[in-house]
Amino acid sequence: MAISCTIDTPQVRSVLDRLFQKSEEIDDAALARANAQPNTGDDRHRVRTELLSEAYLPVHRQVGRLFYILLRANRCRTVVEFGTSFAVSTIYLAAAVRDNGGGKVITTEMHSGKVRQARENLREAGLFDLVDVREGDARETLRKIEPPVHLLFLDGWKDLYLPVLKVVEPRFQPGSLIVADDLDITPEFHKPYLNYVRQPENGYVSQDVPMGDRFEVSLRLAGA
């Protein structure tokens, strides 16, 4: 008897293949334009959001599959994502939630055009019913979430990883997982977050994983 794996169905694979292909065509030029601009100032998130409005910025394929495995192994049913973009990583997360028997992926994105396109991509993949796509600043859009959150995936602006973690943190339970992507990108912005999750007194055990652009996996401990 075949065991269901949603990420390997033709419907989902065709959407992922199209999105990864578009990323290869567009992202390098879009990132070069954005990186030529100063990454400072109070409005830097808004400015870079516009500069990267066409960039797909997906997780690496092998990292997406590893996330799917991680969610399946931990039976995650409520997943929160910071940084939807065009929903490549969201597809992997939602596929795992479906194969775990159902649940919800709550994801948030600042750019309205990306929100619209992400919803269309999720519909095309047949996963939209599992996903709540919220538009706006994650520090606000993620305040209303019913606990427990089984996994938090951080893949938005790197200097907001720690503030977003602290917004969601009260919804964790012992055994909740936190994954922070892109440690090799603007590493100076990751320092406050990594210092926090790597201090045992803050209630986590944490380890970086050298795949893709490197990511950090943290486990919420009992009694934290």
Rounded to the nearest 5 degrees, what angle is found at the Cα of 215, between the Cα atoms of 92 and 76? 40
CATH number of the domain that residue 184 is part of: 3.40.50.150
Q: Is 69 part of a structural domain of the chain?
A: yes
Residue 196 lies in a domain: yes
Query: What is the domain extent for residue 157?
Result: 59-220
* Residue 3, pLDDT score: 65
| pLDDT tens track for 60-81 | 999 999 999 999 999 999 999 9
State the pLDDT at residue 99.
Answer: 97
Site of tokens 């990454």: 39
- Position 86 in a domain: yes
Segment 21-42 shows an average pLDDT of 82
The answer, as to whether pTM is greater than 0.75, is yes
Torsion sign across C-alpha atoms 125, 128, 130, 134: positive
Mind listing the pLDDT tens digit for each residue in 145-193?
999 999 999 999 999 999 999 999 999 999 999 999 999 988 999 999 9
Kindly tell me if the per-residue pLDDT of 48 is higher than 80: no
Residue 3 lies in a domain: no
Q: Is the pLDDT of residue 138 over 60?
A: yes
Total structural domains within the chain:
1
Confirm whether 134 is domain-assigned.
yes
Q: Is residue 94's pLDDT more than 70?
A: yes
Q: Which residue has the higher pLDDT, 7 or 30?
A: 7
- Flag whether 42 is in a domain: no
Residue 39: which pLDDT band, with cuts at 50, 70 and 90? Answer: low
**12 located within any domain:** no
Q: Are 64 and 52 in contact (CB under 8 A)?
A: no
Residues 6 or more apart whose CB falls under 8 angstroms from that of 154 comprise: 82, 83, 161, 164, 165, 178, 179, 180, 181, 193
- Residue 204, beta-bridge partner list: 220
Residue 2: pLDDT band (50, 70, 90) is low
- What does the pLDDT read at residue 40? 67
Long-range (24+ apart) CB contacts under 8 A made by 138-143 are 138/82, 138/83, 138/108, 138/110, 138/164, 138/167, 139/163, 139/164, 139/167, 141/108, 142/80, 142/82, 142/106, 142/108, 142/167, 142/168, 143/167
CA distance 21 to 64: 15
Report if residue 172 sits inside a domain: yes
| Residue 223 confidence class, pLDDT cut points 50, 70, 90 | low
